Amino acid sequence: MTVGAVTAADPIDPDNVFISPDGNDTDGDGSNIKPYQTIYKGLETANNNTGTIYLLSGTYNTAGDYGLTVNKSLNIIGSGQDNTIIDAGNHNHIVVIQNWATVNILQITFKNGSGSYGGSILNRGNLTVEDCNFTGNRASNAGGAIMNWYGTLQVTSCTFTDNTANIPNHAYGGAIANTGTSTIIDSTFNSNTAYEGGAVFHYLGNCTINNSNFQGNTAGRGGAIYNKEGTLTLNNSTLEFNTANATSTTVDVVAAGAGIYNDNDSTMAIDNCIIQNNSATASGEGVNISAAGGGICNVGNLIINNSLIQNNCATATATSQLNIVSADGGGIYNDKVLLINNSIIQNNTVTANADKDVIANGAGIFSNGDMAINRSKIQSNAIIVTTNAGVGAYGGGIQNGGNLYITDSTLQYNTITATTPGINRIGGGAICNSFAGNTFIDKGNIQYNSVAAIDGNEFAVGGGIYNENVLLITNSTIAFNTVTVTNEGEYAPVGGGVCNFGVIVANFNRIVNNSPGAVHNDAQSVPDLQYNWWGSSNPEFSEIITGTSMDYDPWLVMRYTANPTSITQGSTSTLTAYFRYDSDGTFHDPALGHLPDGTVVTFTTNLGNVGSKIATALTINGVATILLRGDEAAGTALTSAALDLETMYLTVPVTPITVNAVTTNTVGMQNTGTPPVGIVLATLMVLSGFFRTRKKE
């Protein structure tokens, strides 16, 4: 039904037209007392530009309540989502808004609409939808609830539940499909489904989503959101328990971007969002199987700020396959450009299970593109692989095959665990920098990461970092990383801290307590490992450096001073641990490089206090300082400064305070006529013996 010019008698007030399922299109006059019955009648009689249609409580489900086309600009206001329901009964779409119309819709539930594009609403004009509910709508092609076809759409405080775009392998936007300009605010998307973009599919135009929640939506790619060749901004929103699912026994299977899929030639910015508990799951038999991006799959340009990406997973499972079973990027899969600032990526997993060879990479992040990470944490991510055949698993925290820049960030507690009786090839508990990758790290903290090979034993390396190409690292800590194996081999286990098959320049780092060993080199090039702190001023390099030749001399050493060297009771001395000198005695300007800031140095004393008898201080520009207070008895304070395996001692004499001679005189006082108050004894401290008190004559 097309609504344009008025074709019936005018209502009492065409600016305010009332509709009720209990009304009458023939005898009604559109008033609150005698409302019309159908929405069609209201659209027909309401004024253009100034008209408002009020839908009174009830369910609108007659032929005049759906299959509508609006050529006017007007408002449609219900009596609340729970009270005003338009139910199309899966017979047709509910309304089409033409491109010259501006329509505002409020407080209505749209239910069981069905169409090719826009199961409930197809918008070509300017549409605002506020405080509405869309449930059970479906579109065969795109926009299960709403299709915005090169129009302008604003959605505020709406709920979208169980909407579907349902042509197999060719349906987009389970709740909303947008090819124009859209803004979504304070809205909720639950259990919507499509082939791409389970909740929202955005194409070409601009889309902004603020303060919204996406939960339990499903697609093959982009379980919650799919951005294709458009610009999308996502702020202050939560995406959780969304899925990207794919399964087949006849064609190759790909499931990608359970939370978000950002396609090629697309730009997306994410700020202050939570993306959690999403899963990309691919399964099948006799076909190639791939799962990528449990939280996000990016093949465009993506910026992530101030966000939390956690507990997402990419899982690939097969009982048999042709060639490949792979799972990559439990948290994020990146194939283009990715910038991450001030964010946390944690507890994401990559899992692959099959009866043949499996590949699993990048539990936190898998990247074949360009990526920069600043002031962020990549932690507690895990690759878990079980197979009866061979395993290739790399990058518990990050698998990098492009250009990777890490600044002022932490990678910790990331793991790779592979169980197979066959060949294990696993490496890089925190980072795997592949043969095509270049990694640059400044002010990084890489600690407590691990690689574990159970049964298979060919290759298990790089508890912290496995490098195959170019690695530059400075002002960073590589500590407490491990490689363990059930069955030892030539390359299992090696390189607890770093295993190198490429080119490394690593200066002014702290590399300590890794097992087995700090660095293993198997490259023809000679790594530049000068000016690092290896845990003591006299490290046993034969125990921590293995493989072919490396240049690690000179290294940083510790010096310890007290200023002043002695103090009196009640005064202080500054204790300083210096790491600005190398083993050749050369001073290094901290502006050109120094031990990582924030390294914890422990100070002790047996006399006086350094805060207590034991306290810690953090290094800044290669120096840690603390005050020794002489607030106890005189004597000799035995102090120490300790970092890792190095402890240095200094004695600081604490001398007593010198006190001048003291004279005490007892003075008698004569009665001067003043009423006596008793006998007064005055004890006077007489300075230098000159001041005396005389009795009055």
- pLDDT digit string, tens, across residues 321-367: 667 899 999 999 999 999 999 999 999 999 998 878 899 999 999 99
Spell out the residues 6+ positions from residue 611 whose beta carbon is closer than 8 angstroms to its own.
Answer: 626
* Residue type at position 528: D
Look at residue 31 in the predicted model and tell me its pLDDT.
97
Confidence check: pLDDT of 668 > 80: no
Residues 6+ apart with CB under 8 A from 233: 207, 208, 209, 268, 269, 271
Given a cut of 60, whether residue 689 has pLDDT beyond it is no
Model confidence at 660, pLDDT cuts 50, 70, 90, reads: low
Query: Taking residues 467-488, what's their average pLDDT?
Result: 96
What is the C-alpha separation between 199 and 175, in angstroms, rounded?
5
CA torsion sign, 688 to 689 to 690 to 692? Answer: positive
- pLDDT category at 680 given cuts 50, 70, 90 is very low
Beta strands 614-618 and 600-605: pairing type?
antiparallel
Distance CA 405, CA 240 (A): 28
Check whether 452 has a pLDDT greater than 80: yes
The band of 458, judged by pLDDT with boundaries at 50, 70 and 90, is: confident
**346 to each of 121, 243, 429, 432, 479, how far by Cα in Å?**
39, 18, 14, 17, 19
Q: Which of 80-94, 353-367, 413-427, 484-498 has the highest mean pLDDT?
A: 80-94
Q: Given a cut of 70, is residue 669 above it in pLDDT?
A: no
pLDDT higher than 50, residue 71: yes
Percent of the chain with pLDDT over 70: 93
pLDDT at 673 over 70: no
H or E element in which residue 382 lies: strand 382-387
Q: Where do the domains of the chain lie? A: 1-219, 557-655
Q: Express each pLDDT in 379-402 by its tens digit.
A: 999 999 988 888 899 999 999 999
> If we measure between CA atoms, which residue out of 403, 406, 386 comes closest to residue 446?
406
Distances from the Cα of 130 to the Cαs of 20, 118, 127, 159, in angstroms?
21, 17, 10, 10
Q: What pLDDT is attached to residue 1?
A: 55
Long-range contact list for 81-84, CB < 8 A, 24+ apart?
A: 81/107, 81/108, 81/109, 81/131, 81/132, 81/133, 81/159, 82/109, 83/57, 83/58, 84/55, 84/56, 84/57, 84/58, 84/60, 84/108, 84/109
CB burial string 371-409: b at 16+ within 10 A, e below: bbbbebbbbbbbbbbebeebbbbbbbbbbbbbbbbbbbb
Q: State residue 240's pLDDT score.
A: 99
Give yes or no for a cis peptide into 421 (omega within 30° of 0). Answer: no
pLDDT above 50 (res 675): no
- How many CB atoms sit inside 10 A of residue 104's CB? 16
Taking residues 610-630, report their average pLDDT: 98
Check whether 687 has a pLDDT greater than 50: no
Asked if residues 246 and 220 have their Cβ atoms less than 8 Å apart, the reply is yes
pLDDT at position 696: 35
pLDDT at residue 478 is higher than 80: yes
The sign one gets for the Cα dihedral 31, 34, 38, 44 is: negative
Does the pLDDT value for residue 681 go beyond 60?
Answer: no
pLDDT for 116 beyond 90: yes
End-to-end CA distance of the chain: 128
- Dump pLDDT digits (tens) for 178-204: 999 999 999 999 999 999 999 999 999
What is the CB-side half-sphere exposure of residue 498 using CA atoms within 13 A?
31
Compute the average pLDDT of residues 134-142.
Answer: 98
The per-residue b/e assignment along 498-529, b for 16 or more CB within 10 angstroms, e otherwise, is bbbbbbbebbbbbbbbbbbbbbbbbbeeebeb
Q: Looking at residue 694, what is its pLDDT?
A: 34
**d(C-alpha 367, C-alpha 433), whole Å:** 10
Cα(187)–Cα(182) distance, integer angstroms: 13
For the cut 90, the answer to whether the pLDDT of residue 601 exceeds it is yes
Q: Which pLDDT score, from 0 to 100, does residue 321 have?
A: 62
User: Is residue 34 a contact partner of residue 23, using CB atoms and an 8 Å limit?
Assistant: yes
- Residue 679: predicted pLDDT: 32
- Number of neighbouring beta carbons within 10 Å of residue 107: 19
CATH of 557-655, one of 3.40.630.10, 2.60.40.10, 1.10.3720.10, 2.40.50.100: 2.60.40.10
* Whether the Cβ atoms of residue 85 and residue 112 lie closer than 8 Å to each other: no
Kindly state the tokens that stand for 114: 């069905």
DSSP 169-217: TS-B-SSEEESSEEEEES-EEES-B-SB-SSEEEESSEEEEES-EEES-
What is d(CA 311, CA 536) in angstroms, rounded to the nearest whole number?
Answer: 38
Give yes or no for residue 641 having a pLDDT over 80. Answer: yes
Give the pLDDT mean for 301-322.
Answer: 92
pLDDT of residue 446: 99
Mean pLDDT of the chain: 92
Give the residues across from 303 on adjacent strands.
Answer: 269, 339
Main-chain phi, psi angles of 438, to 5 degrees: -130, 120
In this prediction, what percent of the chain has a pLDDT beyond 90?
Answer: 85
The pTM assigned to this predicted structure is: 0.91
Given a cut of 60, whether residue 547 has pLDDT beyond it is yes
Q: What is the pLDDT of residue 695?
A: 34
The total number of residues written for the chain in this structure: 697
What is the chain's Cα-based Rg?
37
Query: How much is the average pLDDT of 244-262?
Result: 93
CA angle (627, 632, 634) in 5-degree steps: 100
